[in-house]
Amino acid sequence: MNPGGIPSGRHAPIPKFNPRSIASMLLRLFSLTRSNWRLLIAAVISMTAVSLLEFVIPQLTRYVIDHVIPADNYAALPWVAGGILGAALLLGLFGYIGSTAMASVGQKAIYELRNMLYRHLQTLDMSFYDRNRTGDLMSRVTSDVNMLQQLVSSSMIQLFTDIFTFTAVAIYMLWIDWQLTLMLLATFPIMIYTTRRFSTRIRSSFRTVQQSVADVSDHLQDTLSGIRLIKSFSTEDYESDRFADRSRVNMEANLKTVRLRAIYEPTIDFINFLGLAIVLVLGAWQVMSGRLTIGSVVAFMAYLRLLQNPVRHFSRILNTVQQSAAAYERVVDILETKPEVADRDGASQLPPIQGRVVYQDVDFGYTGHPDVLHQLNLEMGPGQVTALVGSSGSGKTTIAHLLTRFYDVRSGSVSIDGFDVRDVTVQSLRQQIGLVSQDIMLFNGTIRDNIRYGRQDATEEETIAASAAANAHGFITAFPDGYDAEIGERGVKLSGGQKQRISIARALLKNPRLIILDEATAALDTESEHLIQEALNRLLQGRTCLVIAHRLSTIRHADQIVVLEEGRILERGTHDELLKANGRYARLYELQFPQHNPIEQEAGDG
């Protein structure tokens, strides 16, 4: 399940075929291209011209059969040929203008939609990303949007032309022979009924198809980015089997839709042939009894095709519309998700801070994990280093998340220099906080791009100075491309220690007043450790710092050490004070440094 996430196809009810919701989908898509109204007008005019020309050609046939042939009018024949060819040329020309104009309107709409979607995804908060799977979100931005692209760029032109042609032809036929036309039109309700019966089922299976594409893409994203894990556990076969299972769901869902279409299309064809039989039999009857000319029956046959084509196309377009409606719902699900963490109305800019942080009576929990922090009170002075220690899952990282507003407190408050973090803009808050995390986030690109990520306007001198302070300049310049060296996806071409120093350089360049340091658990070799520790000391200098500590050796000089257990503060003080208190911290310290017995040391100190 996906508790609280945007609904995924398997669990969401399948909405019924609803012309109003489809109309609103189209309106919304086309309203994205309001600025292209000239193109839209060109498309509509061309499509109208196409319909009119299609209407004129059978009239020429009728004229030849009823008037030219009986009168042996040889002189009219070149004109007839010219008329048909001229109409065909114009048909091609208007068809070309209509398709290209409509395609550019459609493509522009999709361009806007995809960007809008991506921009919206960027505004959504961490809890949204906790609830939703990356691969699923990726498939919404890619394959679902592609589906809509197909709808607006190719199917819409067909639909508009068809509706126009259908109306014009039906009116003309009623005027010429209303009885025959009514008999013909009587087959249409059967067709519409069949279409409606099939549409719900087709739509539901398309939704399964889309969802299975999302599952495949989710699995791909997960396993390809975790390929090291797979290799280290030799689970290639296991993952291949899991992938095959997901692909199979996709294949079966696709086959189901194909089967449905395979029944649907011949059914529609049968109804079309019924129409042909009606025109042929009743038309012949009328000709024999002298009420209709042969030319009119021939024209009727041509118009029958024009009348049936829209309905036959409609079944194909219906597929696209159904798929698009399912895709559109998945896109709208995201667009309509409101971030829980967002700027409040009238939120002010956080002015440059001193760095006094106060957590007051903070309660917090995650979705599905409601009790993480309880009545937490914590104060950090400007320029002070506060270290959080405690067993795994005690809430250390969570405390840091509340400061950056990755999540908002349930009750109580977090403030910086007296400003509640919820009252200032998220951007102005995060600009003044640096995050150096144990799982180092680097993007594919050059070393320079990564160091400048938090301050893209930094000069070359500033970048080099930050790298030098982070003990990174040396190894960077040893690369043949120096700062222009590509680091690979997530920095795979760098060692663990190099990645850490790049991330410290990045934080130094951003130069925030507040630093959150999520300490590495992994031990590095002594030299690398020394270089990193030195870089970190420079980073922490003169800044308020919250250290999520895993190794107690590095926090001995912290201004205050806070010991957490199950989201509550158990004790706090300096290293020496806590050792003297001989409580939880002393126990943890003893565990990490068994050779060091705090009680003995205390006796020795005394």
Ligand X SMILES: Nc1ncnc2c1ncn2[C@@H]1O[C@H](COP(=O)(O)OP(=O)(O)OP(=O)(O)O)[C@@H](O)[C@H]1O
| Binding residues vs ligand X (CB under 6 A) | 130, 366, 368-369, 372, 390, 392-398
What SS3 state is found at 128? helix
Name the minimum Å distance from CB 109 to ligand X: 36
Nearest distance from residue 476's CB to ligand X, in Å?
30
- Mind spelling out the 3-state secondary structure of 219-274? HHHHHHHCHHHHHHHCCHHHHHHHHHHHHHHHHHHHHHHHHHHHHHHHHHHHHHHH
Neighbours of 195 (CB within 10 A): 18
Q: How far is the CB of 503 from ligand X (least distance, A)?
A: 17
Q: What are the Cα distances from residue 585, in Å, to 259, 535, 555?
A: 67, 26, 12
Instruction: Decide whether 538 or 568 has the Cβ nearer to ligand X.
Output: 568
| Other CB atoms within 10 A of residue 115 CB | 12
- Closest to ligand X by CB, 390 vs 434, is 390
**Residue placing its CB nearer to ligand X in the complex, 300 or 589:** 589
- Distance, in Å, from the CA atom of 404 to the CA atom of 418, rounded to the nearest integer, reads 15
Tokens 């498939």 -> residue = 139
Cα within 13 Å of Cα(21), Cβ side: 12
Q: What is the smallest separation between the CB atom of 8 and ligand X, expressed in angstroms?
A: 18
> For ligand X, which is the closer residue by CB, 415 or 437?
437
Nearest distance in Å: CB 340, ligand X: 13
Are β-strands 357-366 and 568-573 bridged in parallel, bridged antiparallel, or unpaired? unpaired
Strand-pair partners of 385: 545
Task: Round to whole Å and give the CA distance between 545 and 543.
Answer: 6
- Pull the structure tokens for residue 539: 């980073």
Residue nearer to ligand X on the CB measure, 494 or 552: 552
Q: How far is the CB of 271 from ligand X (least distance, A)?
A: 55
Given a contact cutoff of 8 angstroms between Cβ atoms, the answer to whether 362 and 409 are in contact is: yes
Cβ neighbours around 163 below 10 Å, total:
14
Question: How near is the Cβ of 385 to ligand X at its closest, in Å?
Answer: 18
Quote the least distance from Cβ 506 to ligand X, whole Å. Answer: 22
Nearer to ligand X, 315 or 500 (CB): 500
Residue 112, C-beta contacts closer than 8 angstroms, at least 6 positions apart:
32, 33
Task: Give 454's contacts (C-beta < 8 A, 6+ positions apart).
Answer: 434, 506, 507, 509, 510
Least distance in angstroms from the C-beta of 406 to ligand X: 9
**Nearest approach, Cβ of 525 to ligand X (angstroms)?**
23
| Strand pairing category for 568-573 and 560-565 | antiparallel
Q: What is residue 341's DSSP assignment?
A: S
Compare residues 365 and 445 and give the one whose CB is closer to ligand X: 365
Closer residue to ligand X (CB): 316 or 551: 551
Q: State the minimum distance, in angstroms, from the CB of residue 128 to ligand X.
A: 11
> Beta 433-436 vs 357-366: how paired, if at all?
unpaired
Please state, in angstroms and rounded to a whole number, the distance separating the CA atoms of residues 43 and 48: 9
Smaller CB separation from ligand X, 324 or 398 = 398
CA distance 565 to 569: 6
By beta-carbon proximity to ligand X, the closer residue of 206 and 585 is: 585
CA–CA separation, 380 and 372 (whole Å): 21
Residue closest to 515 by CA, chosen among 410, 380, 415: 380
What number of other Cβ atoms are within 10 A of residue 597's Cβ?
14
Structure tokens at 541: 């200098």
Nearer to ligand X, 129 or 419 (CB): 129
* Unique residue bearing structure tokens 């939880």: 584
**Shortest distance, position 409 Cβ to ligand X, whole Å:** 14
Helix (H, G, I), strand (E, B) or coil at 436: strand
Nearer to ligand X, 85 or 441 (CB): 441
